[in-house]
């Protein structure tokens, strides 16, 4: 253990959010120990602006709740206190202890709970302990640094400051055991390596390939949260590449992995790289990103392949096969990553509109413009134009012109398409085919 004094580490109170300071002071005043820990300290030492401030304390969740009116207790696997200041949330965690011989500090009448499954994975982790134990329970050395507001010291339990200087992501303890306890740590190793532009230290990296499949046991809801932090936080493309090297991306997106090639050249792989680069650019420009758009893009070609299979084996119309494939692919994907329904609805909308873009006759084109997801669907069409050749690119150009044209020009554009009546009459006939079949 190493203690760095105020003048040795360069963190000052003014770098820390006012709300985090309030929580630290209040806990201290009530006689508890309280530290800033995790990403907040790490990022300040790296001269980066922390995303959030996490606090660790020897007060139990109940004791924390008694101190703060604006406090919510959350979590089952880890019980945590959230102190709410408007939209700002300060996360306060009670020091964790070891599972076998922890110093158990629980309110009277309650049992300390920790349990593992057969793979050694921790299912619940609510044994409380000392700060030393808490440090050992953290994932990486660079995340086990504790800043005290009492004496302005940084306490380093796992040589994290040196690892920060050498830019190394190093697990605390035996890597294989730590990954088995919580396989998400493999994702976190990659996430921090890319985000902080560091190397995964050799012993920490070594077991990942072999243990990557343990991610299958992680609840899909947690993997959804993680997938956003990995892919929608500004360095998605680089993160994808590293995740793929470690066979981790394949666990999150098995449907995409089926389309992986040696030289990363399939349409699916090109699309993944394209959408992640575009997402990174948007984030760099401070624009909002919609995860539904990313999922729609990544799964687009696998969905089309599935639709072709269904159409050719079932005799269903292209459109029906397409809609069944859309549902199939999303149902499969949410088993790994629980994409919430509000997003899968948007994914399905974007896909469905792709079909409608080519039916522009009569009033249809005008109606398309009114669709709430028109903008996203159009952007998607334009993006496809870059991968799928002339026809799609021309269609996208037409729609670009159409959406910005005046009313007269729009009418003219639709008339110029010609053949509308003829095609409109053909559609119901096509629909009858499968019906006729099933009747015979
Ligand atoms: P950031 O918030 O910038 O993504 P962070 O390091 O603060 O990074 P959080 O997920 O906010 O990451 O977690 C806060 C701290 O909790 C971490 O720094 C680490 O010490 C600890 N921690 C989080 N997840 C785990 C885990 N799966 N296993 C062990 N310790 C963890
Ligand atoms: Mg954090």
Q: State the ligand closest to the CA atom of 51.
A: 1
DSSP secondary structure letters along 2-67: EEE-HHHH---GGGS-HHHHHHHHHHHHTT--EEEETHHHHHHHTT---S--EEEESS-HHHHHHH
pLDDT given for residue 440 in this prediction? 38
pLDDT average, residue stretch 260-285: 97
Judge whether residue 85 has pLDDT over 60: yes
Distance from residue 139's CA to the centre of ligand 2 (Å): 12
Q: Which of 12-16, 115-119, 346-350 has the highest mean pLDDT?
A: 346-350
Helices (H), 147-266: 160-165, 175-181, 184-195, 202-205, 208-211, 220-231, 236-245, 249-252, 254-257
User: How confident is the model over 393-439, as pLDDT tens digits?
Assistant: 999 999 999 989 988 999 999 888 875 444 444 444 444 444 444 44
183 C-beta closer than 6 A to ligand 1: no
Element (H, E) at 146: strand 145-148
pLDDT in tens, 18-68: 999 999 999 999 999 999 999 999 999 999 999 899 999 999 999 999 999
pLDDT of residue 6: 93
Name which residue sits closest to atom 12 of ligand 1, judged by CA: 39
Are 158 and 173 in contact by the 8 Å Cβ rule? The answer is no
Q: Summarize pLDDT for 112-141 with one digit per residue, the tens.
A: 456 677 767 766 667 899 999 999 999 999
Is residue 40 a contact partner of residue 52, using CB atoms and an 8 Å limit?
A: yes
- Better-scored residue on pLDDT, 121 or 370: 370
Token duo for residue 237: 């493309």
Instruction: Judge if the beta carbon of residue 143 lies within 6 A of ligand 1.
Output: yes
Q: What is the pLDDT of residues 187-230, one digit of tens each?
A: 999 999 999 999 999 999 999 999 999 999 999 999 999 999 99
Nearest to 65 by CA among 80, 53, 52: 80
> pLDDT band for position 109 (50/70/90)?
very low
E strand residue ranges, 52-118: 54-57, 71-74, 80-85, 88-94, 113-116
The two beta strands, 54-57 and 71-74, are unpaired
Averaged pLDDT, 367-380: 91
pLDDT tens by residue, 137-185 = 999 999 999 999 999 999 999 999 999 999 999 999 999 999 999 999 9
Phi, psi for residue 54 in degrees, rounded to 5 = -105, 145
- Ligand 1 nearest-atom number relative to CA 181: 28
| Ordered alpha helix ranges (H), 337-419 | 341-357, 364-370, 374-385, 390-404, 407-417
The predicted structure's pLDDT at residue 63:
96
Non-local CB neighbours of 139 within 8 Å, separated by 6+ positions = 171, 172, 178, 182, 185, 188
Q: How far is the CA of 138 from the centre of ligand 2 (A)?
A: 12
Comparing 372 with 279, which gets the higher pLDDT? 279
Reduced to 3 states (helix: H, G, I; strand: E, B; else coil), residue 195 is: helix
Measure the CA–CA gap between 234 and 281, rounded to whole angstroms: 8
Compute the mean pLDDT over every residue in the chain, rounded to the nearest whole number: 90
Please indicate whether residue 76, judged by its CB atom, sits closer than 6 Å to ligand 1: no
Percentage of the chain exceeding pLDDT 70:
89
């Amino acid at each position: 253990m190493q203690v760095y004094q105020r003048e040795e580490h360069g963190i000052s109170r003014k770098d820390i959010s006012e709300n985090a300071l309030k929580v630290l002071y209040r806990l201290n005043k009530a006689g508890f120990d309280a530290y800033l820990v995790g990403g907040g300290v790490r990022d300040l030492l790296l001269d980066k602006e922390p995303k959030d401030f996490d606090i660790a304390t020897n007060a139990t969740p109940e004791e924390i709740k008694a101190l703060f009116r604006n406090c919510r207790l959350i979590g089952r696997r880890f019980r945590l206190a959230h102190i709410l200041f408007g939209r700002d949330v300060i996360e306060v965690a009670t020091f964790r202890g070891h599972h076998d011989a922890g110093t158990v500090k629980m309110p009277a009448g309650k049992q300390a709970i920790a349990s593992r499954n057969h793979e050694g994975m921790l299912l619940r982790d609510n044994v409380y302990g000392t700060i030393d134990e808490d440090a050992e329970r953290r994932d990486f050395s660079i995340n086990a640094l504790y800043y005290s507001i009492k004496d302005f010291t940084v306490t380093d339990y796992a040589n994290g400051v040196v690892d920060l200087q050498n830019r190394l992501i190093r697990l605390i303890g035996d890597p294989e055991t730590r990954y088995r306890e919580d396989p998400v740590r493999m994702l976190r190793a990659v996430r921090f390596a890319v985000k902080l532009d560091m190397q995964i230290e050799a012993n920490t990296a070594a077991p990942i390939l072999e243990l990557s499949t343990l991610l299958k046991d992680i609840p899909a809801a947690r993997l959804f949260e993680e997938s956003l932090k990995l892919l929608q936080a500004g360095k998605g493309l680089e993160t994808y590449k590293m995740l793929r090297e470690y066979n981790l991306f394949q666990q999150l997106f098995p449907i995409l992995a089926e389309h992986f090639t040696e030289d990363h050249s399939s349409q699916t792989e090109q699309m993944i790289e394209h959408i992640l680069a575009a997402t990174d650019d948007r984030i760099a420009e401070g624009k909002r990103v919609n995860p539904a758009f990313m999922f729609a893009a990544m799964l687009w070609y696998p969905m089309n392949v599935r639709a072709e299979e269904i159409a050719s084996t079932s005799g269903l119309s292209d459109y029906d096969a397409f809609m069944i494939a859309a549902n199939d692919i999303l149902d499969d994907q949410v088993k790994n990553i629980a994409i919430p329904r509000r997003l899968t609805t948007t994914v399905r909308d974007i896909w469905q509109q792709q079909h409608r873009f080519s039916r522009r006759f009569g009033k249809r084109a005008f109606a398309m413009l009114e669709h709430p997801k028109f903008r996203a669907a159009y952007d998607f069409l334009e993006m496809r134009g870059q991968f799928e050749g002339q026809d799609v690119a021309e269609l996208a150009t037409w729609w670009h012109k159409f959406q910005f044209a005046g009313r007269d020009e729009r009418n003219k554009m639709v008339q110029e398409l010609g053949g509308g009546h003829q095609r409109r009459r053909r559609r119901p006939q096509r629909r009858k085919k499968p019906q006729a079949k099933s009747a015979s």
